[in-house]
Structure 1
Amino acid sequence: MKSLTLKYAIAFLSGIVLVGSVSGFSIVNANRTLHPNTYVQSSVHAVNPSVYQSITKFKKSETPNQLTWTEKNITLVAKKIERENIPSSEKRVITSITIKKGDKNYTLKTDGYNDKLRDISSVAVSPSNTWLAIQAERSAGNTLLLINLATGKSIIVNDLLKAKGKRNIESITAYNWSPKEDQIAFSYGDTSSSSIAIYNTNKDAFIYLPRETNYISTSLILWHKSGKNIDYISEYPSDQKKLYRYSMDSKKVKPVKKMSQIEFQQWFKLDKYTTN
C-alpha cells in the first residue's frame, strides 16, 4: 500500500512539474510571437500620449514648378524655378511663397535669399490661427519661417537666433506650437549639437531650455495640452535616444525614459504634419 501511495505521489508531482513547464513554455512563446508593436504601444501609453495636443494637418500636393499645402481655409503655394548653369542638386529653388486665408493674401519673395530655399518640409498653424510656421529646406539644413496671418509679417527664426548671438544655427529640425499661446518650441544646431528654445511671438522673446546633456540631435517636440510641459526626444550618445520633459513652471528639464528605435518610430507618428 505504501508503495502504491508513493507511486501516486510521484505521478502527481511529475504532473505539476510538467504543467508548470508547459505553462512557462507557452508564456515565453506567447511573448515571442506578439506583434512587435504590442510592447511599443504599451510603452507609449505608459507615458500617456493623450496628454499631448493634436496637430492640425495640411494636405500636400506637388508639380515640378509648384508646391501646395492646404488646410480648411488656409492655402500655401510655393513657386519654383529651375536655374541654369547650376549643379543639379541646386537647380530647383523656391522664388515665392503665397499664403491665402479667407480674404487675405500675402506673398513672401524668397528669390533674394542668399541661401536659397529648395523645398518645404512641413507647415503648421498655431492653435489661435494667427501664425503659420513653415519649415523650408536649404542646401544645408532647414529654415523656420513664421508668418502672421493677420498682418503678413514674416520672421526668419534662424536669423533672430543669430542676432541674439547664438552660433551654429545650421538647421531648425523639430518644432511645435504651444496650445495656449502663440509661442513655438523648436530645436536648433548643426550635425553634432542640438539645443532647444521657445519663441514667444507676442513678446518677441526667447526662452532657452537648459540642456540635461550635450544632445547630438533632437527629433521630436510635443507640447502637453495644458501648455505647462514640453516633451522632446533627443539623441546622446550616438544612436541612443531619450525622452525628456521641460516644465514651464520650474524651468527645469528631467529625463523621462530611454527610447528604443522601434519605440521612437511609434512616437514620431504623433508629430505628423502632413496628410496624403
Structure 2
Amino acid sequence: MKFVQIMTVGAIVALAISGCSDKASSNSNPDQQRPQNKVNNIEVNNTKEGVKKVEGKATIETYKATDKKMNSVDYSQYYNNQDKSKVVVSGKQIVWKNKDVTFTAKLTKAKGEEAAEANEVVDSMKIKSKRGEQLVKLNPRPLRVNSLSLSKSNQIALHVSDHEGKRLVLINLSNGTKTIVNMFEMNSDGAESEKIDAYNWSPDGKKIAFGIGDLGSSYIGVYDVERKSYTHVSDKDFTLISSIVWHKDGKSFDFVSKGDDSPQAVLYTYSETKKSILKKGSLSKNDEQKLAQLTPKF
C-alpha cells in the first residue's frame, strides 16, 4: 500500500439485499450539483478535489498482559450513534430512515455479467430530505448495502458491497458532493483500495474513522470532512477491523482487530492527542458482540 494524490470523488452507491461477496470500481463523469427542493437524476459521478494527506504515524503501545482477556470494557465512555435509524424491507424495496433523511433502494434482476454474481442488484436509490429529492442510478450497480450512518455534520456514510470488496461513500447533504473513501489509499498498480471494513463518525460529525485496505489487509485511517484532510494513522496491518467506536470526548476511539494468525478479537485505542495506538487486550465473545452493535450495520 502506498500513498498517492487523494481525490474527492462524486459517486453515490445504492443497496441490494442479495447475500453475495464483493469488488470496488468507479466511473468517470462530470459532477452534477443538486439544487434544493428539486428532483434530480444523478448517475455515478467523479469530481477531483484536492484532499490533504497526513502520514500521522502512531506509535504502538501495549499493556503488560495484552495476551490475556480484558476483565471488563467501560461502555459508558463510548459515543453511540446507532440507535436513531430504522430499516424496513418490503419486497424489492428497502427503506432506511434517520431523522428527516430517507433512503429508498429498489432492486432489479441482474443482467449479463451481473447475473453471475447475484440474482438481484440495486437499480436506483432515492434520497429524500428537507432539501428535496435526488434520484440515483448506479453504474456499476452494487450487490448490496451493508449500512448507512448519518453524522451531526449533515453527511451520510454509505457502505456497499460489490463482487469483491466494499466501498464507503460519503454524501454531503448540504451541497451534494460525494467522496469515495477507497481512493484515499492506492495499490502499487494505481488501483483504489479494495475494501473498507468498519467505520464510524466522531461525536461532532467532523471526522470519520475506518479500516481501509485490500482483501486480507486493513489499516486505520481518519478523514476530516471539514478540512478535507486524510490521516493514514499507522503502517501496522490489522488484517480485519470489525468494529470502531469513538469516545464521547471525540479525541480517541477504540477499534477491534482480528488477525489471520488468531481468531481472538483484540481491542485497541487510538489517541489523536498522543498519536498513539494502545493495545488493551483480548476481548470476550460477549464484548466483541457488544462493540459490534455500536458500529454502523443493518
Task: Give the structure-1-normalised TM-score.
Answer: 0.74
Who wins on radius of gyration, i.e. which is larger?
1
Contact 1:188 1:194 in 2 (8 A): yes
Partner of 2:133: 105
Alignment size in residue pairs: 227
Q: Distance in 1 between matches of 2:170 and 2:252?
A: 22
Aligned CA distance change for structure 1 residues 84 and 269 (closer, same or farther; 3 Å): closer
Matches within 5 A, 1:1-276: 46-56=72-82, 57-86=84-113, 87=115, 89-110=117-138, 112-113=139-140, 116-128=141-153, 130-162=154-186, 169-211=193-235, 213-236=236-259, 237-271=261-295, 273-274=297-298
- What is the CA deviation profile of residues 168-214 of structure 1, one whole-angstrom value per residue up to 9, with x for unaligned ones? 72111200001124211010123321111011111222111125x53
Q: Distance in 2 between matches of 1:89 and 1:204?
A: 35
Contact 1:78 1:98 in 2 (8 A): yes
Partner of 1:29: none
- Percent identity over the alignment is 29
Q: Which runs of 5+ in 1 are unaligned?
A: 1-42
The offset of 1:101, in angstroms, is 1.3
| Letter of the 1:109 counterpart | K
Higher RCO (Cα < 8 Å, 6 or more apart): 2
Aligned CA distance change for structure 1 residues 192 and 90 (closer, same or farther; 3 Å): same
Aligned CA distance change for structure 1 residues 127 and 149 (closer, same or farther; 3 Å): same
Q: Which runs of 5+ in 2 are unaligned?
A: 1-68
Deviates more, 1:51-60 or 1:245-254: 51-60
Judging by fraction of residues, say which structure has more helix: 1
- What is the CA deviation profile of residues 4-36 of structure 1, one whole-angstrom value per residue up to 9, with x for unaligned ones? xxxxxxxxxxxxxxxxxxxxxxxxxxxxxxxxx
The offset of 1:164, in angstroms, is 11
Task: Give the structure-2-normalised TM-score.
Answer: 0.69
| Letter of the 1:122 counterpart | S
Q: Distance in 1 between matches of 2:192 and 2:262?
A: 19
The offset of 1:88, in angstroms, is 5.2
